[in-house]
Amino acid sequence: MFGIIGFLVAGLVIGALARLLKPGKQNLSIIATLGLGVVGSVIGGLIASALGTGDMGELNILGFVVAVVAAMLLVGTAEAITGKSGPKQLR
C-alpha cells in the first residue's frame, strides 16, 4: 500500500518539476500533472532498468532525470493536444 502512495507522490513531484522546467504556461490540472508525472516516472524507471542502473521500483539519479525529461515531453505533448487555452471544441 505504501509503495503505491510513494509512487504517486514521486509522480506528482516529477510532474511538478517537469512543469516548472518547461518554459511557458501550461493549462493542466493537478490530476493531469500527476498522471503525466506517473507515466514519466514509469518511462524513467524502465529506461534506467534497461541500462542496468537499478530496479524499476528503486529511486536512482539516472531514473529520476530520465523521468523528469520524459514528463517534460509528455507535458509538451499534452499542451499541443489541448492547445494554449484548453481543450479544443468541435464545431
pLDDT tens-digit profile, the chain (91 residues): 566 777 778 888 888 888 888 877 777 788 888 888 888 888 877 887 788 776 666 667 887 888 888 888 888 888 878 765 555 555 5
User: How far apart, in whole angstroms, are the C-alpha atoms of residue 15 and residue 31?
Assistant: 10
CB contact at 8 A, 76 and 22: yes
For residues 54 and 33, give the distance between their C-alpha atoms in angstroms, rounded to a whole number. 25
Whether 67 and 45 have beta carbons less than 8 Å apart is answered as yes
